[in-house]
Amino acid sequence: MNIDRFIFSLILSIILAFLAPGGAELLHIKQLTTVGVGLIFFFYGLKLSFDEVVRGLKRYQLHIIIQLSTFLLFPLVVLLFKPILIRFVGENFWIGLFFLAALPSTVSSSVVLVSLARGNVPCAIFNASVSGLIGTFLTPIWIGLFASQPGELSLGGVFLKLFFQILLPLVLGLLLNAKYGFVVKKNSQKFAAFDKMIILLIVYSSFCTSMLSKIFDTVSWFQLFCLFAVVLCLFWMVIGFLYFIALRFHLSLADRITVTFCGTKKSLVHGSAMIDIIFKSSVHASLYLLPVMLYHITQLFIISSLASKIRKSTP
């Protein structure tokens, strides 16, 4: 029900942007979300335990497979099919798909769903946590190399903004984990609600900017249908490949669950946080964010369904 409410809220925020596109500027939402993103990663650092990360270090084989899937397999697949994808979804949506492919894995839902399916939870915690740190550096590099125009993206400026808005709050939270980490864990539902509220504000603000610039006037229903079909195909292609690799390496059922669940997830939190930093409040930001939102909905529905079935079928 929580997943359903959040997805409904995402759709509602888009509709609200269509109805009242001037609200974001009137309410100073850009400034609110800038502070909100910093707080999200500060709280994330607070609940990240050094002990949990250390326990997950031992299974290096799983870590390599998951991180290669997250930061190499996804981008290469989208790059490989670039000519075909642009033909059906257009240049802007292809950039959005590549932005999706370059993002790190999500944290909370990966761990929760791996736990539900009786997978390797310490390994899931480690990979989800490390993925966010790696993505702070790799995501803008991928975008700078393949999804931006010459001179459009200054990696130095992007890294500086990511450092102050994401990495620094994260490190501060991590340093305070031993003393105040229990506060976040004790009130995890309230902090999760705060994360979702900031994401909804970012989505609303991005779509407001695009509506005022009339960007969606150039998008057809056929492109939107093709975009959703591509997102579905991308998900099943990667999860199928990862399951095949897990079988070839003769991994246990718990490890196969962890590889396929963590290696296919992409973070809407990181995508929402990075969209303005990397693309500098572009009028096309909502077009770039839309594939991330569609993938987020897809992965939650499919993986939660798979996790539930696996749990019921295993003793």
Cα–Cα distances (Å) from 179 to 21, 47, 175, in that order, read: 43, 11, 9
State the alpha helices, DSSP H only, in the chain: 2-19, 23-26, 29-47, 50-56, 60-68, 74-80, 82-89, 91-102, 108-116, 121-146, 155-162, 168-175, 177-186, 188-212, 221-248, 253-262, 268-279, 285-313
Please give the domain boundaries of the chain with CATH numbers for all domains.
Answer: 2-306 (1.20.1530.20)
Are the C-beta atoms of residues 277 and 161 closer than 8 Å to each other? yes
pLDDT digits (tens, 9 = 90+) for 86-100: 999 999 999 999 999
Q: In this predicted structure, what is the pLDDT of residue 106?
A: 83
- Beta-carbon contacts of 37 under 8 Å, excluding residues fewer than 6 positions away, are 165, 166, 198, 202, 272, 273
Per-residue pLDDT at 59: 72
Residue 36 has pLDDT above 70, yes or no: yes
Record the pTM.
0.86
8 A C-beta contact, residue 114 and residue 256 = no
Which letter, b or e, does each residue of 72-82 get, where b requires 16 or more Cβ atoms within 10 Å of its Cβ? ebbbebbbebe
- Nearest alpha-carbon partner for 159 in 139, 173, 184, 183: 139
User: pLDDT by residue (tens digit) across 4-23?
Assistant: 677 788 888 889 988 888 88
